[in-house]
A and B are shown apart, each in its own frame.
Chain A
Amino acid sequence: MSDDFASAPHLTSEELAAYLDRRVDAASQARIDAHLAICPACRAELVEARLLVDSASIEHARSRGARAPHPRVWLAAAGIIAIALLPLARIVVRSRDVSVSERAAKPAPAAIEVLSPPNLAVDRAAVVFAWRPVVGASTYRLTVTDSSGTPLLTVVTKDTVHAARAIDLHRGGSYLWYVDGLTSDGRAVTSGIQSFSTAR
């Protein structure tokens, strides 16, 4: 709005973060407001960062707060859910023919649904990567990296299951993986980045 401020330096990361957290004093707030009012680039960054911080805080809380339950807890929960869903299962079985035909008519899903390994500590000697087949996809590319993103394995396969025997996984390690598929009509589908850890 004013050329007087046109040469003002952009906000530092620390200033922007403190402003987003509303932890700036009155003088800093006025100075930052004044810069934002005349700087479209910093305003755009502020708006984007606000959305990202909100969503990232949820992601962060999920990764820090939610410890994976013990496998026995999973089994007990699965048992209770299975019993509760028995009546529903009968209805589903009855309408199975319709469901199958409807499913065949649906387009290929936008993402690859992963089945294994689960997002919790697994036995490092028995890690198996598995995902649901995608209609029309003939080949898949599986990528496994360590937690810093360094690739450990890239394999192209027609299968939807791959045992991780070729990778030297450490105890208590944390790993990332994803699988991409290419459909016959040229569309790429992906699982998105998944993670798992190995038991100590």
Chain B
Amino acid sequence: MFPELSRLFDAPTDAARDDAWADFIQAHHRLLIHVARSANGPRDVDAAMDAYTFILDRLRENDFRRLRAFVADGRSTFVTWLVVVAKRLCIDFARARYGRSERNAEGESGQEQMRRRLMDLTGAKLDIGTIPDPSESTPETLFDAASLRQALHEAIMDLEPRERLLLALRFEDDLTAERIARTLGMDSPFHVYRQLNRIIDKLRRRLRSPDDSNSAVEIRSTKYER
């Protein structure tokens, strides 16, 4: 248990609790201000200070409910937890002050973009170019495109969760390998490239597998044999 938090939770009097709270602020105010400034931009000092006081109010409310949740979980370091919670509180603060943003509107288009890029990557050896132009919109071309999409979707869902996450970070969010390595704690961007290449090869193999009745090749050859 963290001694500074024990002092807060176990303070016998209001005065002792206030003292413990003052010490807590003394120990962490720079970190909390850093988060508040990051969330509000370096130029808007007033907003950052308002966000900072909002964070402190929320950490203290309901008898330190949030801090107690950290102690009960106990897995992460306190600094990491405090940063995550402070950042979320900054979002709450911004929502309360400026209203909810519409950032989730692009979610579906991001997934569409990823599928298209993966179809390009995995399809290079599948000779997807032989499929007639989808803009012609004949029932056959639509069927080909839908079959390939379905096959790719199923191939992705057969991957390990970590592999799906890597694909999403690279092809849906368009992050650099360096950023992905940093985010996931991987050794270097080269490790990211290596893993991505391995995953794409895996998808190609899955899509070309002659034994798999769902494979795009199988679906297409069935169609052309008719």
Task: List the interface of chain A (C-beta within 8 A of B).
Answer: 1-2, 13-14, 16-18, 20-24, 29-31, 33-34, 36-38, 40-41, 43-57, 59-60, 62-64, 143, 145, 147-150, 174, 176, 178, 180, 188, 190, 192-193, 195
CB distance from B191 to the nearest CB of A (A): 15
**CA of A169 to CA of B79, assembled, Å:** 29
**Which residues from chain B contact A63 at a C-beta distance below 8 Å?**
27, 29-31
A193 touches B35 (CB 8 A): no
**CA of A78 to CA of B226, assembled, Å:** 89
A14 touches B26 (CB 8 A): no
**Which residues from chain A contact B156 at a C-beta distance below 8 Å?**
1
Task: List the interface of chain B (C-beta within 8 A of A).
Answer: 22, 25-31, 33-35, 37-38, 42-43, 45, 48-50, 52-53, 56, 66, 69-70, 73, 75-77, 79-81, 83-85, 87-88, 103-104, 106-107, 110-111, 153, 156-157, 160-162, 164-165, 167-169, 172-173, 175, 179, 182-183, 185
CB distance from B70 to the nearest CB of A (A): 7
**CA of A57 to CA of B31, assembled, Å:** 8
Given contacts A47-B173, A192-B37, contact A145 B183 (CB under 8 A): no
**CA of A92 to CA of B137, assembled, Å:** 75
A62 touches B168 (CB 8 A): no
CB distance from A164 to the nearest CB of B (A): 18
Select A23's contact among B42, B45, B75, beta carbons within 8 Å: B75
When A and B form their complex, which 6 residue pairs have the shortest distance between CB atoms, in order from nearest? A17-B76, A33-B161, A149-B53, A18-B75, A37-B164, A34-B161
**CA of A143 to CA of B168, assembled, Å:** 45
Which of A17, A43, A53, A174: most chain B CB closer than 10 A? Answer: A17
> What would 25 A/B residue contacts be, using CB atoms closer than 8 Å?
A1-B157, A1-B168, A16-B84, A17-B70, A17-B83, A23-B75, A24-B75, A30-B162, A38-B164, A40-B172, A43-B165, A43-B173, A44-B173, A45-B87, A47-B169, A47-B175, A52-B38, A53-B84, A54-B182, A62-B30, A63-B29, A145-B49, A149-B49, A174-B29, A192-B42
